[in-house]
Amino acid sequence: MKTWSRKDFLKASLIGGGAAFVAGQTRLYGQVGGAAGSANGDIRVGIVGFNAQGFGHLQNYLPGSRSKLEGAVLVAICDVDDKVLAKGRDAANKAGLKVAEFKDYRKMFASKDIDAVVLAPPNHQHSIMTIAALQAGKDVYVEKPLSHNIWEGRQAVEAARKYSKNIALIGTQNRSSEQIMGAIAMLRSGKLGKIKWVTGTCYKSRESIGLHDGPQAVAEGIDYNLWTGPATLTPPTRNGPRGTVHYDWHWFWNYGGGDITNQGIHQMDVARWLLGAQGLPNTVMSFGGRFGYRDDAETPNTLVSVMNWKDSAPLIFEVRGLGRKKGMKAMDVYRKSSVGVVAQCEHGYINIAETGGAIAFGNDGKQIEAFQGADNGAHRKNWIAALRSRKVKHGLLEEGHYSTSLCHLANLSYLAGAEKANAQLADAVGSDLAAKDAYWRTLDHLKANEVDLDATKPIVGPVLSVDGKTEMLSHPDKLIADAANNHPLRKRTGRGEFTIPQLSATVAKS
Ligand SMILES: NC(=O)c1ccc[n+]([C@@H]2O[C@H](COP(=O)([O-])OP(=O)(O)OC[C@H]3O[C@@H](n4cnc5c(N)ncnc54)[C@H](O)[C@@H]3O)[C@@H](O)[C@H]2O)c1
């Protein structure tokens, strides 16, 4: 069995989206006379949003932390929730740091004492903050997904182009996985033959968030206007274990896109990377529903989406929030994968794990090659490397935009769909073998969860055509096309002081 060497990695890192460099960078940290950085050359970092994911980032910049990133120091924190702000302040103080505190990110970005910002607020704030930070001359690490909707993601990409003196990187951390680069190098070598299709699986337990009546109160200390930002200002209508504001926004269209844009974006990004698919697909079709319980949430907990490109194999993406069978928390496994990506080729298949390891099998199921190891914070180290070298090698914003948009497109077909009987769903899935297989497996999964598809009908979406240049959708039925194009997941421009600037004519450059 072949072992994976550093040389292979270097070769692999020149493959596909990982190879592009951003030209024209001038700012240098830590050089004599350099324009940026603290007196000792440390990069001065501000963190925005650190209830959960952002808190992990925050710890990366605290002296004495096990995950400390070298050459960077925390100088500012920003959160709209007083309690979260206090948690960040305490952590910084304990590490011997005094940090500037902000509730309004715009004030933080105006500070001359910050070089780079890490953005980990909810999804609906990602694009607007990325653009504002770049306009203010900051380097940006923005958490995945890049956007709440396709249009604003394109504006963020355009901002990265326009303000290319700054670094902009997206936190799809698998892009820094040497193991995935190895697996892709193997695929490209042709050892397994051509790719026939790629399946992304996001089987992750998502329980009911409870059912509540009417608007719920916002906890004291949260500036809800700032929290809402470019979304529609409306009271929260959820009150799960995490309260009325934090985290469960994922399951509401005003802020998130369900698990496909939450966990799924990671696997979507890897799937598109494996395929070598350039830009958006030519068509997308989805079906699914929120099955097994009734609660406040809006997004489907079960979704299958089929995407086709003219020049590459199809991509099938499956989201499952229910367990293996009714009452079980353990999740289904598809070809050794619960959360992962499987690329089926002519002579075998490759399985990419959630944490970045990969194994190639022959069609007889025998292991051919393993790319072992897991993510040890490589992406965050690469972010610091990008800041110093002024080159983004892993996590280009435009790649993030396309992968994020795939999630939006999958949701848009679902949202333009209608409840249909199972027999009509079978017809809609068509004759594509991989799509049919996903359909049958999904039916089995729902049956095991005692979901009665006659009582709770699946939503079956239309096949939408996608124009890769305008990033708009079409369908023979104008009503369907208009519904998809006018949906906020396709385009939302923001609200009042949180209006997203239009930097591109929405026409993709490539
Ligand atoms: N890369 C990964 O593997 C990974 C893992 C988990 C989460 N994430 C991403 O990180 C982001 C945050 O996730 P989370 O689970 O921490 O969510 P969360 O809702 O628990 O926390 C978000 C925080 O952002 C704050 N916030 C909201 N609006 C703000 C604003 N305008 N200014 C400043 N702060 C604001 C909130 O008060 C909260 O403290 C999400 O976009 C998620 O997709 C990425």
25-34, 163-172, 256-265, 489-498: lowest mean pLDDT where?
25-34
Confidence band for 15, pLDDT divided at 50, 70 and 90 = very low
Residues 125 and 208 in one domain: no
Strand pairing class (139-142; 116-119): parallel
Give the end of a domain, one of 175, 202, 217.
Answer: 175
Inside any domain, residue 2: no
Considering the chain, what percentage of its residues have pLDDT values greater than 90?
85
- If one compares 20 and 362, the residue with the highest pLDDT of the two is 362
**What is the CATH number for 97?**
3.40.50.720
Sign, CA torsion 241/244/245/248: positive
Give the end of a domain, one of 155, 175, 195.
Answer: 175
Residues 56 and 183 in one domain: no
Contact at 8 Å (CB) between 338 and 331? yes
Contacts 24+ apart (CB under 8 A), 191-194: 191/347, 191/360, 191/368, 192/345, 192/346, 192/347, 192/348, 192/349, 192/350, 192/360, 192/368, 193/345, 193/346, 193/347, 193/348, 194/313, 194/345, 194/346
Distance of CA 391 from the midpoint of ligand 1 (Å): 26
Q: What is the pLDDT of residue 198?
A: 97
Residues 40 and 167 in one domain: yes
Residues 315 and 462 in one domain: yes
Residues 116 and 159 in one domain: yes
Distance of CA 50 from the midpoint of ligand 1 (Å): 6
Spatial separation of the C-alpha atoms in residues 248 and 123, rounded to whole Å = 12
pLDDT single digits (tens) 201-231: 999 999 999 999 999 999 999 999 999 999 9
Residues 462 and 371 in one domain: yes
Confidence band for 36, pLDDT divided at 50, 70 and 90 = low
Residues 170 and 203 in one domain: no
Contact at 8 Å (CB) between 4 and 372? yes
52 Cα nearest atom in ligand 1: 16
Asked whether 396 lines ligand 1 (CB < 6 A), one says no
Asked whether 246 lines ligand 1 (CB < 6 A), one says yes
Inside any domain, residue 384: no
Inside any domain, residue 386: no
Asked whether 144 lines ligand 1 (CB < 6 A), one says yes
- Crossing angle (nearest 10°) for helices 397-415 and 150-162: 170
Q: What is the pLDDT of residue 480?
A: 97
Phi-psi region of 243 (alpha: psi -120 to 50; beta: other; left: phi over 0): left
Asked whether 75 lines ligand 1 (CB < 6 A), one says no
Inside any domain, residue 382: no
pTM for the model? 0.94
Token pair of 205 as six digits: 């337990």
pLDDT reading at 344 higher than 50: yes
Inside any domain, residue 473: yes
pLDDT single digits (tens) 66-110: 999 999 999 999 999 999 999 999 999 999 999 999 999 999 999
Closest to 416 measured CA to CA, from 460, 456, 458: 460
Give the end of a domain, one of 156, 175, 194.
Answer: 175
pLDDT reading at 32 higher than 50: no
Distance of CA 234 from the midpoint of ligand 1 (Å): 19
121 Cα nearest atom in ligand 1: 24
Distance of CA 105 from the midpoint of ligand 1 (Å): 14
> Which residues form the domain of 39?
19-175
Closest to 175 measured CA to CA, from 370, 351, 20: 20
- If one compares 8 and 310, the residue with the highest pLDDT of the two is 310
Instruction: State the average pLDDT for the chain.
Output: 92
Q: What is the pLDDT of residue 40?
A: 81
- The answer to whether the peptide bond before residue 145 is cis (omega within 30 degrees of 0) is yes
Inside any domain, residue 10: no
Averaged pLDDT for residues 435-462: 95
User: Nearest residue CA, atom 21 of ligand 1?
Assistant: 51
Confidence band for 506, pLDDT divided at 50, 70 and 90 = low
Residues 110 and 181 in one domain: no
Number of structural domains found in the chain: 2
Inside any domain, residue 383: no
**What is the CATH number for 483?**
3.30.360.10
Closest to 162 measured CA to CA, from 132, 134, 125: 134
Residues 32 and 74 in one domain: yes
Asked whether 339 lines ligand 1 (CB < 6 A), one says no
Residues 253 and 315 in one domain: yes
19-33, 177-191, 232-246, 481-495: lowest mean pLDDT where?
19-33
Residues 139 and 202 in one domain: no
Closest to 319 measured CA to CA, from 346, 337, 339, 295: 339
- Which letter does DSSP use for residue 74 in this model? E
What φ, ψ does residue 278 adopt, rounded to 5°? -90, 125
Distance of CA 59 from the midpoint of ligand 1 (Å): 15
Residues 162 and 180 in one domain: no
User: Nearest residue CA, atom 29 of ligand 1?
Assistant: 227
Strand pairing class (139-142; 168-170): parallel
Distance of CA 126 from the midpoint of ligand 1 (Å): 9
Inside any domain, residue 450: yes
Token pair of 481 as six digits: 């096309």
Spatial separation of the C-alpha atoms in residues 183 and 352, rounded to whole Å = 8
Question: For a pocket test of ligand 1, which of 143, 245, 498 has the largest count of ligand atoms closer than 8 A to its C-beta?
Answer: 143
Spatial separation of the C-alpha atoms in residues 29 and 22, rounded to whole Å = 17
pLDDT reading at 10 higher than 50: no
pLDDT reading at 25 higher than 80: no
C-alpha atoms less than 13 angstroms from C-alpha of 429 in its C-beta half-sphere: 27
Asked whether 80 lines ligand 1 (CB < 6 A), one says yes
Q: How far is CA 20 from CA 23, 128, 225, 291, 294, in A?
A: 9, 24, 38, 42, 46
pLDDT single digits (tens) 144-186: 999 999 999 999 999 999 999 999 999 999 999 999 999 999 9
33-37, 40-44, 255-259: lowest mean pLDDT where?
33-37
